[in-house]
Amino acid sequence: MSFPPTSITQLHQQLRSGRLSAVEVTRHFLQRIEQTNPQVNAFITVCAEQALQAAAAADRQLATGEAPPLCGIPLAVKDIFNTEGLATSCGSRILHNYISPYDATAFARLKQQGAVLLGKLNMDEFAMGSSNENSASGPVHNPWDLQRVPGGSSGGSAAALAASQALATLGTDTGGSIRQPAAFCGVVGVKPTYGRVSRYGVIAYASSLDQVGPLANTVADAALLLGAIAGYDAADSTSVDCPVPDYLADLNAGVKGLKIGLPQEYFIEGLAPAVKQAVAAAIEVYRSLGAEIVEVSLPRTAYAIACYYLIATAEASSNLARYDGVRFGLREQQDGGLLQMYEQSRAAGFGAEVKRRIMLGTYALSSGYYDAYYLKAQKVRTLIREDFNRAFEQVDLLLTPVAPTTAFALGEKTDDPLHMYLSDIFTVPVNLAGTCALSLPCGRDGQLPVGLQLIGKPFAEAQLLQAAQAFESATDWHLQRAPLA
């Protein structure tokens, strides 16, 4: 067994038995970050002193014999989560030197279990991007090939796992920002149903689409993390008061008799041959495990990207209006009036992609265009949700690729925003529908991982995780580690 184990469950057993201490494990990961972060750039902030203090407290709790499963487990969170006393930049200059006065609910729930925070993870600025190249802290590099992107916007969350810099991470998913990086970096990433996990304390991009979720090395670890962060939160008006099952209880229930749908619109021309081959092989694995494979249709899929980039940018335009240089963050100290200070602070603080999306959203919401763009996009969103509802009347789950290709080269798509946006063609519809989905490794394109997407009914994360566990148990893709690891 490697030191430390790559599974939370295995590490927890060793911590409880006293074979390892939380401080010892934390020092290992801090050293690992120091050695590899110059190559990967997954961490924006490393909080070594606080981590060692939290690890010492975890050791004291472990000594009582009554420690929860995440006690002493080293993890990191995307820099979009507010964390008390630590810098939270959201990958942007506009939040320069912003120190959060409170914890986001999802992180607070992990901290209550005694988890050890190693630091804050790099991301596309304000979660706007599919490659993690839109960051004021520089691009993240994929541990499988340092000349390629890790995916975005939670690229740091996926790359840190793939580089063995943490044992678990949290990310956010607005249009695929957990699932696509998980696929590109060969790890497991879960996008829960909208309302399943509190968004309180998470810096907003598009409030009707954003969702918090875990990334981990195994399905079981992801299930454990989701169980820890899920549940109603009165501080979040979009949180749904729905019971949270024990996701580990029936994790090995299998898929025999389950109906899995293949949406014909997701198996299109332009799908990379290696991705197509890996997903086809995964389908055969499910068939051999006793699942029934059924073809279904999601006919409005073609409109999802256009719909998403109207709704998301409109909401971003509204949400990002608060960054004005007055109350917190960057303020350009220039001569002139208040309006000039606003303009100069926002011009210097926001990157090119964020400015592009603010302008698109402001235009879509402007007088004379609201009905033609934003309102029409909301109507199309309803139709896309109805497509999923009809499909789920026929099947239990949907199976698709995560992305049309594997990780692309750094700089390959930066000059062509539309080409970049199409990287999320298979993930965006899930966010518009508000249902749950996950990505797990299912193959290779040369050295690069291929991701498989499973999509579940609203609040059916337990069934989704069971199906993922069945595939993981029948294959060994999750055991294969990046060269840098």
Amino acid at 361: G
Every domain of the chain and the residues it spans: 8-252+469-475
Per CATH, is 8-252+469-475 categorized as 3.90.1300.10? yes
Percentage of the chain beyond pLDDT 90 is 89
Residues with Cβ within 8 Å of residue 168, at least 6 apart in sequence = 8, 73, 75, 115, 161, 214, 215, 216, 217, 221, 225
Cα–Cα dist 226/125, whole Å? 25
Q: Where are the beta strands (DSSP E) in 154-211?
A: 168-172, 188-191
Residues with Cβ within 8 Å of residue 290, at least 6 apart in sequence = 254, 255, 256, 257, 258
What pLDDT is stored for residue 485 in this prediction?
A: 79
- CB count within 10 Å of CB 464 equals 27
Residues with Cβ within 8 Å of residue 208, at least 6 apart in sequence = 194, 311, 315
Residue among 137, 121, 5 at smallest CA distance from 72: 5
Any bridge partners for residue 450, and if so which?
Answer: 443
What pLDDT is stored for residue 269 in this prediction?
A: 86
pLDDT digits (tens, 9 = 90+) for 239-268: 999 999 999 999 999 999 999 999 999 998
For residue 439, pLDDT over 60 is answered with: yes
DSSP, residue by residue, 279-314: HHHHHHHHHHTTPEEEEE--GGGGGHHHHHHHHHHH
Task: Scan for tokens 């340092």, then name that residue.
Answer: 146
Structure tokens at 239: 């949180």
pTM of the complete model: 0.96
Cα–Cα dist 75/118, whole Å? 6
Q: Where are the beta strands (DSSP E) in 159-258?
A: 168-172, 188-191, 212-216
For residue 290, pLDDT over 90 is answered with: yes
What pLDDT is stored for residue 422 in this prediction?
A: 87
**Quick check: helix, strand or coil at residue 251?**
coil
Is there a catalytic annotation at residue 92? no
Q: Where are the beta strands (DSSP E) in 109-250?
A: 116-121, 168-172, 188-191, 212-216
Is there a catalytic annotation at residue 423? no
Q: Which one of 7, 21, 78, 413 is the catalytic residue?
A: 78
307 half-sphere exposure, CB direction, 13 A CA radius: 25
Structure tokens at 68: 């929860």
Tell me 419's DSSP state.
H
Cα–Cα dist 436/187, whole Å? 17
pLDDT digits (tens, 9 = 90+) for 299-310: 999 999 999 999
pLDDT digits (tens, 9 = 90+) for 175-234: 999 999 999 999 999 999 999 999 999 999 999 999 999 999 999 999 999 999 999 999
Contact indicator for 123, 79 with CB cutoff of 8 Å: yes
pLDDT digits (tens, 9 = 90+) for 366-385: 988 888 899 999 999 999 99
Is there a catalytic annotation at residue 177? yes
Q: Tell me the pLDDT band of 477, cut-offs 50, 70 and 90.
A: very high
Contact indicator for 119, 47 with CB cutoff of 8 Å: yes
Q: What is the dihedral of CA 472, 462, 189, 202, to 10 degrees?
A: -170
Q: Where are the beta strands (DSSP E) in 243-396?
A: 259-263, 292-296
Residues with Cβ within 8 Å of residue 308, at least 6 apart in sequence = 175, 209, 424, 428, 431, 432
- What's the chain's average pLDDT? 96
Task: Scan for tokens 């994929």, then name that residue.
Answer: 142
For residue 16, pLDDT over 70 is answered with: yes
Residue among 293, 310, 112, 299 at smallest CA distance from 209: 310
Structure tokens at 288: 């051999």
What pLDDT is stored for residue 270 in this prediction?
A: 85
Q: Which one of 7, 131, 154, 177 is the catalytic residue?
A: 177
For residue 2, pLDDT over 70 is answered with: no
Q: Which one of 89, 153, 157, 164 is the catalytic residue?
A: 153
Q: Tell me the pLDDT band of 1, cut-offs 50, 70 and 90.
A: very low
Q: Which helix (H) or strand (E) covers residue 346, if one does?
A: helix 338-349
pLDDT digits (tens, 9 = 90+) for 382-403: 999 999 999 999 999 999 999 9
Based on C-alpha coordinates, what's the Rg of the chain?
A: 21
Contact indicator for 437, 179 with CB cutoff of 8 Å: yes
Residue among 347, 346, 354, 339 at smallest CA distance from 325: 346
Amino acid at 62: L
At residue 181, φ and ψ (nearest 5 deg) are -65, -35
Number of H-type helices and E-type strands within the chain? 15, 11
Cα–Cα dist 33/120, whole Å? 12
